[in-house]
Amino acid sequence: MANIPGAVTDPSRVRGENIELQSGADTIKGYLAQPSQSGRYPGIVVIHEAFGLVEHIRDIARRFANIGYNALAPDLYSRKGGPSDPNDINTVFPVMFGKSDAEAVQDLEAAADHLRGLPGATGKIGVIGFCSGGRQTLLFASSSSKADAAVDCWGGFIHRATPDAETTPSRPTPILNMIDRLHCPLFAVFGEEDQNPTVAQSEELRSRAQRAGKDVTIKVYKNAGHAFLADYRPSYREGPAAELWKDAVSFFDKHLK
């Protein structure tokens, strides 16, 4: 595989473990990565793609731990299970669209609270998400005050609930309509070749944020489409991925450290 931005070259610097955390009346699963050396660290909630808490997402959490963050990736599919075949979009979509926005916010708030409760936690919390997790990053940052900085990576369906419906009972409000409620600085990532979200939607997000006076930075990466940081998929683009990793780390360091 080509060079991976932020790759952990010395595994002894990081410790990772599967955990359980309380979300409302439920117990959900997650993966927690931390620096091996004790200290005072901010936290980052890492939100998985539509495929669930795959090894790539765990690796992203370890990359953040490697540079001085406690990183928690909650399994948002804990209650009902993830797609039976992540390679078949027909099994992915029902699981992705079936996760209610209200439950997602509850789970992400639980993850933020868990990070704040860790020994040595500074109390600062960032959130980053990819694909459906990018959408949930926008949702979380616009619904809760528990995040101090947010990075949305190619969050799709921010303009409507599903391909066939503008709203659904589980997704009652298009995310673009919530930008005026944004609680923290946002860095929104788009690929110029992506079709969901599109470059046009990046401009809509920008204009809505500006009208609402929100702190939003938008960047459209050239020679990149959807999921260009996902090094385990054909969509991976080494150059833009390295650029994004540098940008995301700089954004979190500015707002969380």
Asked about 226 being catalytic, the answer comes back as: yes
Contact present, 27 and 42 (Cβ < 8 Å):
no
Count other C-beta atoms under 10 Å from residue 5's C-beta: 18
Q: How far apart are CA 133 and CA 48, in angstroms?
A: 5
Among 107, 152, 194, 231, which one carries the catalytic annotation?
A: 194
Asked if residue 119 has a cis previous peptide bond (ω within 30° of 0), the answer is no
Parallel, antiparallel, or unpaired: how do β-strands 121-130 and 149-153 relate?
parallel
Asked about 114 being catalytic, the answer comes back as: no
Among 152, 226, 231, 255, which one carries the catalytic annotation?
A: 226
C-alpha distances out from residue 51 to 4, 35, 40, 109, 176, Å: 20, 27, 32, 21, 23
Parallel, antiparallel, or unpaired: how do β-strands 14-23 and 41-47 relate?
unpaired
Among 107, 131, 231, 255, which one carries the catalytic annotation?
A: 131
CA 169, distance to chain mean position in Å, is 23
Active site (catalytic) residues? 131, 194, 226
